[in-house]
């Protein structure tokens, strides 16, 4: 009987001790720890204890753009208006966020630092600018170069198929780089035969503009490049 009372007293004291150190346990994760006393019992006693991990306050910086409004972590900022004029070299962020129409403008961190430079931007103007930029990129994808590769011994059918793909790329506004290569195990052609292959490619692509004259590279490969006229 005394042994059972001693075990119950140990469990009660342990729980009270844990609860006194963790005042808010309603929504905290818990872990189980095993405490074994060789003096009181032969089987282990399982006691629930609760651990709490405080949230880390990391700066919120969405991928692909600078911090805006409440995402800015500094207490003080250099406040610049939408025209680029410095209004306050050192202003409290909370005060600045209450000085402009949040439905029309947003505040963006344009230069990080201890006192970052933050500028107002017109939401509608920014949206229109991004829209025009995206439209221009779609209309003229200059940075996109598609590559077509085949060997000097390519059959007429395979060449027609490969160059057909090249024409599709060109019609979409891309540039096309055509590389004729010497493949391992294939019969090597002399200079005259290679010239015939190049002429056939140029004839197939005559409706497009050649931006690079046929140039032989190391290893006997030849590169041609085309774009829309």
Length of the chain: 229
CB 215 within 8 Å of CB 223: yes
Tell me if domain 69-125 and domain 145-227 are identical in fold. no
CATH of 69-125, one of 3.30.420.40, 3.40.50.970, 3.40.50.720, 3.10.20.80: 3.10.20.80
Q: Residue 215, SS3?
A: strand
Structure tokens at 31: 């872990």
- CA 145 to chain centroid: 22
Look at strands 222-227 and 209-216 and give their pairing: antiparallel
Residue 26: the pLDDT is 43
Q: In this predicted model, which residue has the larger pLDDT, 4 or 201?
A: 201
Backbone angles phi, psi at 198, to 5 degrees: -60, -40
Q: Is 45 exposed, middle or buried (0-12, 13-18, 19+ CB in 10 A)?
A: middle
Which of the 8 DSSP states describes residue 68?
Answer: B
Instruction: Give 115-131 pLDDT, tens digit per residue.
Output: 999 999 998 888 888 88
Given the structure tokens 């019609």, which residue do they identify?
A: 171
Q: Tens digits of per-residue pLDDT, 91-110?
A: 999 999 998 998 899 999 99
In the predicted model, is pLDDT for residue 36 greater than 50? no
CATH fit for domain 145-227, picks 3.40.1440.10, 3.40.640.10, 3.30.110.10, 3.40.190.10: 3.30.110.10
Domain residue spans in the chain?
2-50, 69-125, 145-227
- Rounded Cα distance between 223 and 217, Å, is 8
Please compute the mean of the pLDDT values over residues 58-67 and round it to a whole number: 60
| pLDDT tens by residue, 160-198 | 999 999 999 998 888 999 999 888 777 788 888 888 999
Q: What is the pLDDT of residues 41-52, one digit of tens each?
A: 445 544 444 444
Q: Which residue has the higher pLDDT, 22 or 225?
A: 225
């Amino acid at each position: 009987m005394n042994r059972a009372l001693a075990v119950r007293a140990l469990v009660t004291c342990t729980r009270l001790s844990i609860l006194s150190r963790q005042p808010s346990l309603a929504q905290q994760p818990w872990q189980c720890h095993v405490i074994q006393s060789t003096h009181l019992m032969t089987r282990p006693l399982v006691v629930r204890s609760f651990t709490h991990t405080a949230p880390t306050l990391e700066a919120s910086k969405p991928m692909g753009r600078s911090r805006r409004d409440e995402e800015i972590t500094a207490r003080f900022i250099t406040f610049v208006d939408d025209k680029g004029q410095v209004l306050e070299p050192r202003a409290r962020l909370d005060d600045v966020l209450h000085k402009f129409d949040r439905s029309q403008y947003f505040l963006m961190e344009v230069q990080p630092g201890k006192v970052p430079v933050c500028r107002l931007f017109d939401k509608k103007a920014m949206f229109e600018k991004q829209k025009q930029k995206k439209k221009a990129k779609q209309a003229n994808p200059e940075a996109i170069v598609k590559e077509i590769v085949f060997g000097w011994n390519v059959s007429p059918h395979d060449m027609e198929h490969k160059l057909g793909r090249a024409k599709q790329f060109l019609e979409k506004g891309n540039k096309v780089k055509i590389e004729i290569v010497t493949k391992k195990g294939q019969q090597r052609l002399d200079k005259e035969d290679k010239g015939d292959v190049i002429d056939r490619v140029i004839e197939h692509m005559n409706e497009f503009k050649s931006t690079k004259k046929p140039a032989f590279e190391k290893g006997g490969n030849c590169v041609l490049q085309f774009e829309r006229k």
